[in-house]
Amino acid sequence: MKMSMVVRALRLGQKLLKFLRPLAECKLRNDELSAEATTQSEKNASLRRQLSECHISLATSESSVDALQGEVATLQEAMKPIPAPKISRWIDGEKVKTICKAAAPNCRLYISDTIHYGLITDEEMERFLREDKTDLEKYVVHKNDCDDRAWDLLGDLSQGAWAEIAAGFAWSNLHAFNVYINDQEQLMVIEPQTDKIMEYSPNMHKYYTPIFLMMI
Ligand SMILES: [Ca+2]
């Protein structure tokens, strides 16, 4: 081979290399981009899963918020004060003691106030009991039974202007319940688990024969 042909072959080889090198670089870059695309696709799938989980969590949270708002509304309704009682007239602690002793002479008494007690009609007490929710509480032996309910109702009867009426708490040997004195000066029994009111009488069921009675 002539020297001139060798030189030409070498130059041709150099030119080929000049074109082939960028092609190789492009192939390499293409492989890198394909790998990145695969990684990005996996990331996208992971993000979609996370987004789906967030949607489920958000829906659950919104449902919980709705339920809580319902509970808050119920509590706000239950906490609304019961409009004040119409007091028919007033008596003092000595008169309260006299009325209770006449009705239940063998009962031990505790009269908390001395100055004045308000007397209301039975209709006013029925109005209070209709609005008060103590009778709706769930009965649980020892934890929320007769004495707990009677104590709860007495607490409600100690709110605002209702605290001024002649109402109290009584125990028999078998039961706990509430009492009040109405505008006819009658000692009345309230069964806090049913809202039933009855005029006290020595002939009542022994459940309601008080051995201890306090007026607050
Ligand atoms: Ca009630």
Residues near ligand 1 ion, CB 5 Å cutoff: 129, 132, 135, 195
Q: Which residues contact 29 (CB under 8 A, 6 or more apart)?
A: none
Closest C-alpha among 93, 90, 82 to residue 119: 90
pLDDT in tens, 113-164: 888 999 999 999 999 999 999 998 887 877 788 999 999 999 999 999 999 9
Q: How far apart are CA 173 and CA 207, in angstroms?
A: 7
Cα separation, 176 vs 170, in Å, equals: 6
Domain 89-215 sits in CATH at 3.30.460.70
For residues 189 and 49, what is the distance between their CA atoms, to the nearest angstrom?
Answer: 65
* Separation of CA 35 and ligand 1 centre (Å): 73
Q: What is the pLDDT confidence band of residue 1, given thresholds at 50, 70 and 90?
A: low
CB 169 within 8 A of CB 157: no
pLDDT tens-digit series, residues 120-131: 999 999 999 999
Distance 44 CA to ligand 1 centre (A): 59
Cα Dmax for the chain? 148
Give 137 Cα–ligand 1 centroid separation in angstroms. Answer: 9
- Residue 89's beta-bridge partner residues? 119
Two structure tokens written together for 72: 């808050």
For ligand 1, the distance from its centroid to the CA atom of residue 203, given in whole angstroms, is 26
